[in-house]
Amino acid sequence: MIPDHEVVSVLDALAAAGVDAWVDGGWGVDALLGEQTRDHADLDLVVALGAVDAVQQALAPLGYEMTQDERPTRVVLAAPDGRQIDLHTVAFDADGGGVQRLPGGRSYRYPPEGFAGRGTIAGRPVPCLTPAVQIECHLGYELTETDRHDMRLLAERFGLAVPGVYQPSPR
């Protein structure tokens, strides 16, 4: 499990190393909501592909080591006590979008405006993906019950539609 104070410590270590990172996944949803709604097994971060070595160096003092290297798609860092960080690695294009190469030759482009999200974890402002991009990233595959929980909360709070999960009422 990754507690809120650990998320803040990780983000502080990355900022001190000059690494930009955006909170994604479950913690990203909770950041946007401004409260922790469930336990989190890991911390998902979007970072530049070229920053992976700097991330490793910055987080080594916190006990993290690389356990999976699936570049250019993702890198997993873990600590002996079970804390885990899943890095979603992107190459930024000329327009500020982040392209993540996926298995099978596919790719996903985080739109530039998707990096403008701001949330709060443990009372601290944190950079995260926007609600619309969080939802977009969860489309196209079968959602788990945890995904459905996260998407429902986001959709209800921000009045966004999630096919098969939530449709806002007409105003």
- pTM here is 0.94
46, 129 Cβ separation under 8 angstroms? yes
pLDDT digits (tens, 9 = 90+) for 125-152: 999 999 999 999 888 778 899 999 999 9
pLDDT attached to residue 171: 62
The domains of the chain, with CATH numbers, are: 4-158 (3.30.460.40)
pLDDT attached to residue 121: 98
Which residues of the chain are under the pLDDT cut of 70?
171
